[in-house]
A and B are shown apart, each in its own frame.
Chain A
Amino acid sequence: MNLTPETMTIAEMLAGLRRADFTSRELTQACLARIERFEPRLHTLITYTPELALRQADEADRRYRESRQGDPSAALALPPLLGLPVMIKDVLCLADVRCTCGSKILENFVPPYTATAVQRLLDAGVVVVGKSNTDEYAMGSSTENSAYGPTHNPWDLERVPGGSSGGSAAAVAARLVPAATGSDTGGSIRQPAAYCGITGLKPTYGRVSRYGLVAYGSSLDSVGAFAASAAEVTLLFNQMAGYDPRDSTSCNLRAPNIQLSRSTDLKGLRVGVPDEYFIAGMQPEVETAVRAAIAQLEALGAVAQPVSLPHTEYALPVYYLIAPAEASANLARYDGVRFGLREPSQSLWDVFNKSRGAGLGAEVKRRIMLGTYALSAGYYDAYYGQAQKVRTLIRQDFLKAFQDVDVIACPVAPSTAFRLGEHTDDPLAMYLEDVFTLPANLAGVPGLSFPVGFDGRGLPIGMQLMGPHFKEEALLKTAHAYQLTTGWHKRAPELF
């Protein structure tokens, strides 16, 4: 049969697999064919794993076949995502497949174990077609910091897909795969979702295990997922989330089992609109599209009201002290001793210095330097300590706001996707891309990004919903109601 995964939702794929309209091998091969056709110009992957994917697909098909031969309860017991092709961001370990983190220093690193979030997806039956491109160690907002070359935005190949999870976002936008995982330390799921016109969820901190996620900023890192729509993201999130004793910051709560209905009624939902997120200098089309989307939520019964997050302006400097400080500690392990690149030398100190100097890229070194400074004797209190205290104020802003509203709606980024190379010489300008996404990481609250329009150049515009801790369901339900009544999430780029 002529299978066109680019026109199908995940629910349609899973229904087709269950009904035996097609096999997982056929579905996977259709995705692999799209990857092989479009990948040369998009560069969404660091490591392509077609053999692994087909092996997993055949195993999925075997289980479908067996369930059809067995009693009816066997079909019910099938894993929920059985046979679904996905990409895994290359900062999440998958045993026996190299994990580079977009870095030269891990070019040949083959992890001996699998991240919990990935294992849960494997247990749910997914098929892994590859490890997707990322800024080195997830440090960046454009995927240009990958040592393996940048990913291109499928809406405009001259533009970035956002970052750091740019490979995953571009692949889902181009419908190479229906879903992919990402990680978000300061916006690395939400901003690429916005730039690529898809839906991306950064869960509450601690909701999805970080075990096997290569650490960047440990108090900020979240693992989440991309798909075209909120309904599809929900299918992945339900599987990925849940308590994991192997992550000391994993929250011991019941795993979510979010069921979205066909209801578009948002009556009673209080939507907060923060002035601080509509700033001078942002692209006017972004503000227009986001305000129109908020009006659409009101049309569905929600009530929009102003809300204040007064310490927003400090989120950027707080983040760019705390995240590099944590990074400088986390990345100390790349020393050429136990794994990764070792530059041969006569003394151990030179092994450290030379391996790190040769193996790490410019942005990673910049953040290690910045973090080392912020933690160094004489500066710790003024920089790191003060940043942690202002972080408290930012978190309190959210706790206070969520006494009055159920969700907060705002832009994801001040502009649509920028050109490759546009910000590479100016780190501060690049950091400003994250100005609306950093606060959620500092406060630990969940954030969802989804498409709400296009600018005059045909580039997607994203809106962000943030919610109280552990209330991902409110975000997904709201976006789902919006997507049931609008069509932005159904638009896909015309590829070449």
Chain B
Amino acid sequence: MSLTQAEVEHIAHLARLELSAEELTRYRQQLSAILDYAARLQSVDTSRIAPTAGATLDAAPLRADEPVEGLDVDIVLRNAPQREDNQFRVPPVLE
């Protein structure tokens, strides 16, 4: 299969990736080749097969849903590109 330029741009938009024209062209070709390779999965009959989300989940219990102490706010905000009081600061979402 061959992805179109519009499809690749749409994927980049969904992924919130700013890509150059050169990157868009390269990914269009490379993703098309990889998806061609992956097409062989379509020939496997899986009509009676359940999907696997994890290989050993039977042995992994969920812990009790109880509040526990988290990290101090100042420690969490130490890596913030921009902070204001106890919050992350970002540019406006809406114009």
Known: A251-B59, A314-B40, A389-B49. A347 touches B95 (CB 8 A): yes
The CA-CA distance from A443 to B40 in the complex, in Å, is 20
B35 contact set on A, CB distance < 8 A? 370, 373, 383
Known: A314-B40, A347-B91. A336 touches B81 (CB 8 A): yes
Q: Which of A110, A338, A368, A376 contacts B88 (CB 8 A)?
A: A338
Task: Give chain B's interface secondary structure class.
Answer: loop
Q: Which of A339, A357, A391 contacts B51 (CB 8 A)?
A: A391
With both chains docked as a complex, state the minimum distance between the C-beta of A318 and any C-beta of chain B, in angstroms: 7
Known: A372-B11, A393-B46. A443 touches B55 (CB 8 A): yes
Q: Which of B16, B40, B61, B93 contacts A252 (CB 8 A)?
A: B61
The CA-CA distance from A240 to B71 in the complex, in Å, is 23
Which residue of chain B is the closest to A317 with respect to CB atoms?
B38
Known: A205-B55, A342-B82, A388-B51. A368 touches B15 (CB 8 A): yes
A110 contact set on B, CB distance < 8 A? 78-79
B38 touches A320 (CB 8 A): yes
The CA-CA distance from A469 to B56 in the complex, in Å, is 8
User: Which residues of chain A in 336-358 are interfacial with respect to chain B, using CB atoms and an 8 Å cutoff?
Assistant: 336-342, 345-354, 356-358
B31 touches A204 (CB 8 A): no
User: Which residues of chain A in 203-241 are interfacial with respect to chain B, using CB atoms and an 8 Å cutoff?
Assistant: 204-206, 219
Which residue of chain A is the closest to B36 with respect to CB atoms?
A428
The CA-CA distance from A318 to B41 in the complex, in Å, is 8
User: Which residues of chain A in 358-376 are interfacial with respect to chain B, using CB atoms and an 8 Å cutoff?
Assistant: 358, 360, 362, 365-366, 368-370, 372-373, 376
Known: A205-B55, A336-B81, A366-B31. A245 touches B63 (CB 8 A): yes
Interface residues of B (CB under 8 A from A): 3, 8, 11-12, 14-19, 23, 27, 30-31, 33-35, 37-38, 40-42, 44, 46, 49-57, 59-63, 71, 75-76, 78-82, 88, 90-93, 95
Interface residues of A (CB under 8 A from B): 108-110, 112-113, 204-206, 219, 245, 248-253, 311, 313-314, 316-318, 320-321, 328, 332, 335-342, 345-354, 356-358, 360, 362, 365-366, 368-370, 372-373, 376, 382-383, 385-393, 395, 427-428, 431, 442-445, 469-470
Mind listing 12 A-B residue pairs with CB under 8 Å?
A205-B54, A251-B56, A320-B34, A342-B81, A345-B91, A348-B91, A348-B92, A349-B16, A360-B17, A387-B38, A393-B46, A395-B55
